[in-house]
Amino acid sequence: MADLAAISGLVLMQGGLTSKAYVFYYPAILVYSLVFPTGVSAALTASVLAFVITRGIGDGLDERILAARLLTLAATAELCSAFSIRKNQSSRILDSNVPTPFAGIAPGKLRPLGK
């Protein structure tokens, strides 16, 4: 959350969304969409999108540019979150199918090799 506040402060200090500082939102969104659960990621993305909408309208940003920025920020969050979910599902499936060296052998029934 502190990183989003720092980026928002940088955007405001540089003259709003007409500056190029807004691009720092993309790596921040990418990281927390991969790290945090979907609900937290959605809340953080919504706060970024709300800031971009209010500042974009307040700064008189062209509607097409504002729409493109909103769409790409939301798409970044969605794609990274979907990747994270898919990766977690795949690792759970792989972990559940890993055979153990002693599968099917009852405890206490192991015998030394060669006997």
Please list, in sequence order, all residues whose beta carbon lies within 8 angstroms of the beta carbon of residue 5, skipping any fewer than 6 positions away: none
**Residue range(s) defining the domain that contains residue 31:** 2-86
68 assigned to some structural domain: yes
pLDDT for position 109: 62
Q: Is residue 102 part of a domain?
A: no
Tens of pLDDT, residues 38-96: 889 889 999 999 999 999 999 889 999 999 999 999 999 988 888 766 665 555 555 55
For residue range 18-33, what is the model confidence (pLDDT) as tens digits? 888 999 999 999 999 8
pLDDT interval class at 112 (50, 70, 90): low
Q: Is residue 54 part of a domain?
A: yes
Domain total in the chain: 1
Q: CA separation (Å) from 82 to 47, 85, 110?
A: 19, 5, 45
Residue 53 is given by DSSP the state H
Residue 6 maps to a domain: yes
Q: Return the percent helix, strand and coil in the chain, to nearest 5.
A: 75, 0, 25
In a domain, 8, yes or no: yes
Q: Is there a contact between 84 and 34 (Cβ–Cβ < 8 Å)? A: yes
Are the C-beta atoms of residues 69 and 22 closer than 8 Å to each other? yes
Whether 104 is covered by a domain: the verdict is no
Task: Note whether residue 17 is domain-resident.
Answer: yes
The tokens for 51 are 């800031």
Position 83 scores a pLDDT of: 78
> Is 26 contained in some domain?
yes
pTM comes to 0.70
